[in-house]
C-alpha cells in the first residue's frame, strides 16, 4: 500500500481500533458470559499497537494478522501486570486472561475484521470529505433514534423513557458527521454505518444495564432491532443523496 500521511495514519488507527474493539466487545458478550475487557483500555491498546505496527512494518492483510495476534498474546500473557479490576463499573471480578486465551480464534477474527474495515475505508480515502446537503443529518439521526426507541417497545411491552431517545440522538449525530466525512454516503457505507451505529447503541445499553447471562438473548434481539432501525434509513438517504448530487451536476452544466 502507499505511504501514509499523518492524517491517514490517525484515521486508519482510529477506525481500526474502534471497529476492532466494537466487534470484540460483542464477541465477549457471546463467548464469555458477559465478561469483557474494559472498552477504553482495549481501544487504546489496539490503537498503540496498530500505530507502532504501521510505522515499523507497514499496512497489509498479513501484517494486520501479525498485529492482532501480538495484541491478543500480549493481553493473554501479561494482563496480570496491570490492575484492570479497578476500572470496571461493577464489582464482578473479571478474568482478563480467560477472556482472550479461551476462544482465541474468534477474538482474533473479531478484531481482525475491524482492521480489514480500516483498510477498506483507507482505500476509499479519495471520497470527498465535504458534506453537502448536511441539513438532513438531524432529521436522519432523529428518525433512526425514534425507530430504535419504538422498536424497543416490542421487547419491553411499553415505550422506554424519553431520555433513551435523546441518548440515541446524541450518539447518532456525531457518528453520522464523522462517518460521512470519512467515507461518504454511498450504499456500501450506508450498510457499514448502520452496523457500527447499531453496535454503539447495543453496547451502550449493555454497559448501562449490565445485563446478566440470562438477559443476553434479549440484548441480541435488541441489536437486531437496531439494525432494522438504521440500515434501511441510511440506504434511503444514500439513494436520495446520490440523486441530489446528480441533479446538482446537471444544473451546473447549464452555466459551464
Answer yes or no: are the C-beta atoms of 239 and 133 closer than 8 Å: no
| Residue 92 and residue 195 in one domain | no
CA 62, 24, 51, 193 dihedral sign is: positive
Taking residues 93-117, report their average pLDDT.
Answer: 75
**207, three cell numbers:** 454497559
pLDDT tens digits, 25-75: 888 777 665 556 677 778 888 888 888 888 788 788 899 999 999 888 877
Using CA atoms, how far residue 187 sits from 108, 116, 142, 192, 200, in Å, is 28, 18, 20, 9, 20
Domain encompassing residue 63: 1-126
| Residue 112 and residue 17 in one domain | yes
| Residue 9 and residue 115 in one domain | yes
| Residue 248 and residue 175 in one domain | yes
Structurally, how many domains does the chain consist of?
Answer: 2
φ/ψ of residue 160, rounded to 5: -65, 175
0.85 surpassed by pTM: no
| Residue 195 and residue 106 in one domain | no
| Residue 224 and residue 109 in one domain | no
| Residue 119 and residue 139 in one domain | no
pLDDT tens digits, 148-192: 888 888 776 777 778 888 888 888 888 887 787 777 778 888 888
pLDDT band at 253 (very low <50, low <70, confident <90, very high): very low
Amino acid at each position: 500500500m502507499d505511504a501514509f500521511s499523518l492524517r491517514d495514519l490517525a484515521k486508519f488507527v482510529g477506525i481500526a481500533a474502534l471497529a476492532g474493539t466494537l466487534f470484540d466487545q460483542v464477541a465477549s458478550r457471546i463467548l464469555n458470559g458477559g465478561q469483557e475487557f474494559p472498552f477504553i483500555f482495549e481501544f487504546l491498546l489496539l490503537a498503540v499497537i496498530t500505530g507502532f505496527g504501521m510505522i515499523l512494518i507497514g499496512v497489509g492483510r498479513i501484517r494486520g494478522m501479525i498485529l492482532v495476534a501480538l495484541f491478543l498474546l500480549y493481553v493473554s500473557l501479561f494482563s496480570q501486570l496491570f490492575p484492570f479490576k479497578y476500572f470496571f463499573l461493577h464489582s464482578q471480578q473479571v478474568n482478563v486472561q480467560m477472556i482472550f486465551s479461551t476462544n482465541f480464534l474468534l477474538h482474533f477474527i473479531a478484531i481482525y475484521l475491524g482492521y480489514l474495515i480500516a483498510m477498506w475505508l483507507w482505500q476509499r480515502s479519495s471520497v470527498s470529505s465535504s458534506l453537502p446537503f448536511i441539513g438532513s443529518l438531524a432529521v436522519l439521526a432523529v428518525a433512526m433514534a425514534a425507530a430504535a426507541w419504538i422498536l424497543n417497545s416490542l421487547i419491553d411491552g411499553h415505550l422506554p423513557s424519553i431520555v433513551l431517545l435523546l441518548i440515541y440522538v446524541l450518539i447518532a449525530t456525531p457518528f453520522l458527521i464523522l462517518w460521512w466525512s470519512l467515507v461518504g454516503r454511498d450504499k456500501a457505507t450506508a450498510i457499514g454505518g448502520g452496523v457500527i451505529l447499531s453496535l454503539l447503541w447495543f453496547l451502550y445499553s449493555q454497559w448501562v444495564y449490565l445485563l446478566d447471562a440470562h438477559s443476553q438473548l434479549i440484548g441480541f434481539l435488541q441489536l437486531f432491532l437496531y439494525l432494522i432501525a438504521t440500515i434501511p434509513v441510511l440506504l434511503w438517504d444514500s439513494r436520495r443523496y446520490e440523486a441530489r448530487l446528480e441533479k446538482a451536476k446537471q444544473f451546473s452544466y447549464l452555466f459551464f
